[in-house]
Each structure stands twice: as C-alpha cells, then as structure tokens.
C-alpha cells in the first residue's frame, strides 16, 4: 500500500486489519493449516478403528498349538483327596496317657493276609515304633450281608460294623458263636486278641482299612431312608465309627480308603472296577461315599484310591485283581505314617 493511500485509511480500520491478521495467524499456525476440533475427533476415530482391526486380525490368526495327534499316554492328572483331622483336645480331657502309642488295625485282607515282617500292620509298627494290634478278618466286609445273624452268612459276625460294636460294648458273644462255622485258623486267635488282649482304654489310634470287598460282594452302597442301616456300606461304616467314638472318645480314628481293583465277570475275567457297575455303583462311587461318612463323623480319611494304588500303577503293587504284594503293603504303610504320624516318618528318614 502506497504511503498516500495509507494516510487515507482511518486509524481504526488499520487496527482492525492488524487484529484480524494476528488471529488468523494463530488459527493457521506455521504451515498455514487451519486447526479444528473435528480433525482431532477424526484422528481418534481412525486410531480406534485401526486398533480394532489389528486385534481382530491377531484373534483370527490364533496361536500355534503344541498338540501332537500321534502322542499317546496312559498317565492322567489326579487330585489326591486326603482329609486329615486331628483329635479335638476336649476328647482327651481326663484321659491318662501311658506314654506308649498304641494302634489297633481293623479290616480285611490288606491286614489279615501275609502276616509277618512284610505284613501291613507289621510295617506300620516298624515305621512308627508303636505297639500295633492286628484285628482283621480275611474275606469280610464293612457291611453285613444279612440283617440278622445266620449260619450261612457267618462272616457277618466279623464284619466291621459288628467288630466295632463288640469292641464298644465289650460283648463278643456273637463273634465267638460264629467261630464254630469258620475254617480260618486265624479267626479264633484274632477274636481272642480283641476280646482278651487289647485294652481299648490304652488304644490311641484306630486304623481301618477294607479293600474293595463291599463293592465286589455287591453290598448296598447306602440306604437313603436309614443312614445307620448295617447292611448298607455307609450305614455300617457310620454305625461302627460312632460306636467307637461314643465308647472311647480319646481314640483318634483314621480310615484308609480302598485302592483301585478289578471285579470278576461271569467268565472269571477281570473288569475295571472304576468302570463297572455291579448294581450299586462303581468303585469310585463307594470311595466317594466312604469320604462322605468320614467327613460326617469328623475322622481322618487317607485316599489310597488316587494317592496309592491306582489304575495307572496297580500292576506294580498287586498280585491279582484285588490283593497286594509286599511293595503294595509297604506303600500303604508309608501313606498311613506320613498322614497320621508324620513325626515318625521324619525320624525314620533321619536315621
């Protein structure tokens, strides 16, 4: 603008133009680009869409799999369900401890067969230094076969429920009567042991273990109308445990579950006990009911079904479809000691 024309423009108009020039400069910036909030929203939108597209791409692509269709294994992950419950202190109030740990074992074949250095009760004694009595009867079950005693099922007198009730009451009359029908030479000796030699007031721990005999012999698993029915597995177990608890509250009770076993079919062949229902459930069904009863009665439960001799390793520990070899009995003894008397196990390792 020439000097002449500049002088012709009023001062107020010049000031207005200068203000507009400064405002426009602020809006356009250095490069002359006019800033707008809409561009910011557009940029954010594009960024979000890009992230979503990238995430969908990665999800659709997936991750490499290490699955090998040609890999085979017979091993499975299992959870061992031990439920170890110490005896409540009030249960020993007024009890005079003689300073000697005394264990009474009740059960069937795991204890009653192979008595001697390799026997289950003998191995428990060796590993703990305790005084151990073996009160087991071969071929018996937890539940009775018949509600009333009969000669044709004389083994009912030596079932767990009857042995426990005899120990609680001190009346061994039925057991002594049933001896007349037994051909097992160990039965009279065991009855004498329980009735004459074992002082229940000095027993500290009651160790109970039956193999899968109730399952194999098709004993009823439970009676929903009578939780104490002695011809049902759960009813007999609950009745026997509570009889001991009521008579001798100072005794700590530990139930060792049965292990894996087979059953025999009509042709004499083996069938997997965990897959075969003989009319009252599979072997694991009995295991679950056994666990339930021990929890109801607040006694310890040692899981041998998953934690000792199972479907994967039974060939190393069993001689046939249900009985144990020396290694199997040693494993069961170790599990008992580790769970119930861990201090004894630690001392044995240090020695």
Q: Determine, yes or no, domain membership for 30.
A: no
- Angstrom distance (rounded) from CA 319 to CA 326: 9
Pull the structure tokens for residue 298: 């607040």
User: pLDDT value at position 16?
Assistant: 47
Query: For the chain, which residues score pLDDT lower than 70?
Result: 1-35, 60-77, 345-351
Q: Determine, yes or no, domain membership for 178.
A: yes
CA 326 to chain CA mean position, Å: 24
Count of structural domains within the chain: 1
Pull the structure tokens for residue 21: 């020039």
User: pLDDT value at position 35?
Assistant: 55
Pull the structure tokens for residue 169: 């009451």
Could you tell me the strand order of the sheet in which 205-209 lies?
131-134, 102-107, 205-209, 252-256, 300-302
- Angstrom distance (rounded) from CA 28 to CA 268: 98
> Could you tell me which of 189, 186, 223, 213 has the C-alpha nearest to residue 107?
213
What's phi and psi for 117, nearest 5 deg?
-55, -30
> Do the Cβ atoms of 63 and 285 come closer than 8 Å?
no
User: pLDDT value at position 113?
Assistant: 95
* In the block, residue with structure tokens 């191995």: 123
185: helix, strand or coil: coil
Hey, how many other C-beta atoms are within 10 angstroms of the C-beta on 328?
22
- Angstrom distance (rounded) from CA 337 to CA 19: 96
User: Environment class of residue 186 by beta-carbon count within 10 Å: exposed (0-12), middle (13-18) or buried (19+)?
Assistant: middle
Range of the domain at 295: 100-261+271-350
> Do the Cβ atoms of 305 and 258 come closer than 8 Å?
yes
User: pLDDT value at position 3?
Assistant: 47
> Could you tell me which of 331, 216, 233 has the C-alpha nearest to residue 277?
216
> Could you tell me which of 76, 104, 109 has the C-alpha nearest to residue 318?
109
Q: Determine, yes or no, domain membership for 13.
A: no
> Do the Cβ atoms of 283 and 212 come closer than 8 Å?
yes
Q: Determine, yes or no, domain membership for 217.
A: yes
User: pLDDT value at position 199?
Assistant: 97
Q: Determine, yes or no, domain membership for 249.
A: yes
The model scores a pTM over 0.75: yes
Paired strand residues for 41: none
CATH no. for residue 203? Answer: 3.40.50.1110
Q: Determine, yes or no, domain membership for 317.
A: yes
**Helix, strand, coil shares, percent, the chain, to 5:** 50, 10, 40
């Amino acid at each position: 603008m020439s000097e002449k024309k500049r002088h012709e423009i009023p001062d107020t108009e010049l000031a207005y133009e200068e203000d507009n020039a400064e405002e426009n400069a602020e809006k356009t910036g250095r490069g002359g680009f006019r800033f707008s909030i809409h561009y910011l929203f557009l940029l954010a939108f594009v960024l979000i869409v890009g992230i979503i597209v990238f995430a969908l791409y990665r999800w659709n692509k997936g991750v490499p799999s290490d699955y090998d269709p040609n890999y085979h294994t017979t091993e499975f992950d299992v959870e061992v369900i031990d439920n170890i419950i110490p005896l409540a202190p009030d249960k020993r109030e007024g009890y005079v401890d003689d300073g000697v740990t005394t264990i009474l074992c009740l059960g069937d074949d795991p204890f009653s067969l192979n008595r001697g250095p390799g026997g289950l009760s003998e191995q428990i004694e060796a590993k703990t230094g305790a005084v151990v009595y073996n009160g087991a009867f071969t071929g018996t079950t937890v539940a009775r076969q018949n509600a009333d005693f009969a000669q044709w099922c004389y083994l009912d007198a030596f079932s767990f429920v009857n042995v426990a009730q005899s120990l609680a009451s001190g009346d061994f009359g039925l057991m002594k009567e049933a001896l007349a029908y037994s051909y097992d030479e160990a039965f009279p000796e065991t009855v004498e042991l329980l009735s004459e030699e074992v002082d229940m007031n000095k027993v500290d721990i009651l160790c109970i273990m039956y193999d899968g005999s109730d399952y194999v012999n098709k004993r009823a698993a439970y009676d929903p109308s009578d939780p104490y029915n002695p011809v049902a597995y759960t009813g007999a177990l609950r009745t026997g445990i509570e009889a001991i608890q009521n008579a001798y509250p100072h005794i700590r009770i530990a139930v060792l579950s049965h292990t894996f076993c087979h059953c025999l079919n009509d042709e004499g062949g083996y069938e997997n006990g965990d897959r075969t229902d003989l009319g009252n459930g599979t072997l694991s069904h009995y295991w679950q009911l056994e666990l339930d009863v021990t929890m109801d009665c607040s006694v310890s439960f040692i899981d041998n079904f998953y934690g000792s001799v199972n479907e994967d390793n039974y060939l190393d520990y069993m001689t046939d479809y249900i009985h144990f070899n020396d290694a199997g009995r040693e494993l069961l003894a170790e599990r008992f000691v580790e769970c119930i008397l861990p201090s004894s196990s630690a001392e044995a390792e240090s020695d």
